């Protein structure tokens, strides 16, 4: 089972920018045993994340 946090808007005022993140928890980037979980997370959630941001991205171009 993949455990994810909610979509989070993180304001980085000291850098004059913000970060929007959808985070996978309970994995370690350096542990090869977790790589399949991380790949599945990207396959499952990245298209929805991109689709949600696409209208705002088009306005920036």
pLDDT at 5: 60
- Residue 46's nearest CA partner among 30, 19, 24, 31 is 24
Domain for residue 3, yes or no? no
Counted domains in the chain:
1
Q: Which domain holds residue 42?
A: 8-60
pLDDT tens per residue, range 1-60: 455 567 788 888 888 888 888 888 899 999 999 999 999 999 998 888 888 888 888 888
Total residues found in the chain within this entry: 61
Query: Does a structural domain hold residue 2?
Result: no
CB atoms within 10 A of CB 53: 11
Whether 53 maps to a domain, the answer reads: yes
């Amino acid at each position: 089972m993949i455990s994810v946090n909610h979509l989070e808007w993180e304001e980085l005022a000291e850098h004059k920018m913000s970060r929007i993140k959808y985070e996978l928890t309970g994995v370690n980037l350096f542990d090869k045993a977790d790589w399949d979980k991380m790949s599945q997370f990207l396959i499952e959630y990245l298209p929805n994340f991109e689709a949600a941001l696409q209208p705002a991205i088009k306005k920036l171009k």
